[in-house]
């Protein structure tokens, strides 16, 4: 008998991908629950009933102080202790686009609860990007991408602040990058320089591979009907569905 995997999908003012994200998990067999950030703050016990926390894409709180900043502040100050318990218990977190930005500003990536060494800033083009891109999935510690490693996948991006930058001078930035590579934390990479992101990084995980942040939108590519080319459209599942399935499979086996 399969274990029930509960996924808590966060929503709130400006978040607009919660329905698609919840559906992506549901289609792979999980029980998805969409919860407003205000309701989660009022009832934090909901967090501990779940095995996966998902922060979807959108423009949380209008990105007034920077993408994901207000959401990160709310999570840190109202739920910081509860989030630490959640992460320390070995559960999983995924942040997509705005959710990735929030995870970085919250301090969960690249190393949970340590000094921040990276950020996401304005694309090198200086404007919003909305298009499909090709991505490489390198070998990494990321349990979310285990079934995709060494494959090339297509996913859509929709962001204005997706450029990954590292702290410090040039030598310090290179050291941070090399450390992430050595630790197997670079989980997704653009095949071309899409937005100026350091090393063409599109997604990273923590050292254990349980916390995953990515700028592209896998929830918008779970079916081949969603692919941009008419020649590619069919009844098959999109490769992106394996991201959600991998997270669920891990929870069934280990949590």
pLDDT digits (tens, 9 = 90+) for 153-167: 999 999 999 999 999
Name the strands in the sheet holding 6-11, side by side, starting at the edge strand that comes first in the sequence: 31-36, 6-11, 52-55, 92-96, 211-214, 201-205, 186-190, 129-136, 152-159
Residue 206 has pLDDT above 80, yes or no: yes
| pLDDT recorded at residue 68 | 86
What Cα–Cα distance (Å) separates residue 243 from each residue in 35, 57, 122? 22, 16, 26
Q: What are the tens digits of pLDDT across the range 12-30?
A: 989 999 999 999 999 999 9
| pLDDT recorded at residue 215 | 98
Q: What are the tens digits of pLDDT across the range 138-149?
A: 999 999 999 999
Residues 231, 172 contacting (CB under 8 angstroms): no
| pLDDT recorded at residue 1 | 60
Q: What are the tens digits of pLDDT across the range 209-254?
A: 999 999 999 999 999 999 988 888 999 999 999 999 999 999 999 9
| pLDDT recorded at residue 65 | 62
The residue assigned the tokens 């910081």 is: 80
- Catalytic, 217? Answer yes
| pLDDT recorded at residue 212 | 98
| pLDDT recorded at residue 67 | 77
pLDDT bucket at 191, cuts 50 / 70 / 90: very high
- Kindly report the pTM of this predicted structure: 0.97
**Mean local confidence (pLDDT), 196-208:** 98
Q: What are the tens digits of pLDDT across the range 38-73?
A: 999 999 999 999 999 999 999 988 776 677 888 999
Residues 157, 85 contacting (CB under 8 angstroms): no
Annotated active-site residue in 17, 142, 217, 251: 217
Annotated active-site residue in 18, 20, 161, 219: 219
Tokens of 123: 């694309």
- Catalytic, 219? Answer yes
| pLDDT recorded at residue 63 | 73
Mind listing the domains of the chain with CATH numbers?
Answer: 6-254 (3.40.50.880)
Q: What are the tens digits of pLDDT across the range 78-130?
A: 999 999 999 999 999 999 999 999 999 999 999 999 989 999 999 999 999 99
Annotated active-site residue in 17, 97, 142, 205: 97
């Amino acid at each position: 008998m399969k274990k029930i995997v509960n996924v808590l999908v966060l929503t709130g003012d400006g978040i607009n991908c919660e329905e698609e994200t919840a559906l992506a998990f549901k289609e792979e067999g999980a029980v998805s629950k969409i919860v407003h950030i205000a309701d989660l703050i009022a009832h934090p016990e909901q967090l501990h009933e779940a095995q996966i926390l998902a922060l979807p894409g959108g423009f949380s709180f209008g990105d007034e102080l920077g993408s994901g900043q207000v959401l990160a502040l709310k999570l840190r100050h109202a739920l910081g202790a509860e989030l630490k318990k959640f992460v320390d218990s070995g559960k999983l977190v995924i942040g997509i686009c705005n959710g990735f930005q929030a995870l970085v500003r919250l301090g969960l990536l690249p190393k949970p609860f340590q000094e921040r060494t990276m950020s996401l800033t304005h694309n090198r083009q200086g404007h919003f990007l909305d298009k499909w891109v090709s991505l490489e999935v390198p070998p990494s510690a990321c349990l979310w991408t285990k079934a995709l490693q060494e494959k090339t996948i297509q996913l859509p991006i929709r962001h204005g602040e997706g450029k990954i930058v590292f702290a410090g001078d040039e030598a310090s930035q290179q050291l941070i990058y090399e450390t992430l590579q050595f630790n197997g934390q670079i989980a997704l990479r653009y095949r071309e320089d899409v937005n100026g992101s350091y090393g063409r990084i599109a997604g990273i995980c923590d050292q254990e591979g349980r916390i995953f942040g990515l700028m592209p939108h896998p929830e918008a590519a779970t079916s081949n009907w969603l692919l941009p080319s008419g020649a590619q459209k069919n009844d098959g599942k999109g490769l992106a569905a394996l991201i959600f399935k991998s997270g669920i499979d891990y929870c069934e086996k280990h949590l």
